Amino acid sequence: MLTIGALVFPKFELLDLFGPLEMFGMHPKTFDIRIVAEVSEPVASTQGPRAAVDTLTGSATKFDILLVPGGAGVRHEIENQALLGWLGQAAADAKIVTSVCTGSALLARAGLLDGLRATTNKRAFDWVASLGPATHWQRRARWVEDGRFITASGVSAGIDMALAVIARELGPDAARDAALWAEYLPNTDPEDDPFAAD
């Protein structure tokens, strides 16, 4: 069983979080999903609906996989030193660290992407890249894998990234099954980025 710590903060992006979690949740005997936040009360997304919290960042819980979504709230959280400190500590213990969209800004701000290849949302690309000048940002990528760090570009790319993680951990058949059960047509090529400018 691999425990997933899925971070939420005020104004996180709904699909950044729940798109990947839907895929992981297709294999409940392998992935134990926990919503993590700094506060115990439900956390509101950018779109309004709230996520119930399972685990606090202040706990000593360790996670095998971290999932960091993006969203409008990232612009506030990049100054949250307590959260960035938790990310650094949690990432040190994790087998795999993932982000979706501007979630990579939090990883970059915490210094976790220094010297690594990474990507982020196209519409916020230059801003996110400015937060991690030591990161090798990839503008054309559906998602980027660099060792145990996996970053996805725009919002829906997190679903493809999650399937890539499932394939890495359980094999390609398990990833295909998850996509089939969700009736989702996956992009299995991280360099096939239909949203990148030519």
Task: Name the residues annotated as catalytic.
Answer: 101
- The burial class, CB within 10 Å (0-12 / 13-18 / 19+), for 79 is exposed
Residue 182 structure tokens = 């969700």
CB 51 within 8 A of CB 8: yes
Closest-CA residue to 68 (of 101, 117, 26): 101
SS3 content of the chain, % helix, strand, coil (to 5): 35, 20, 45
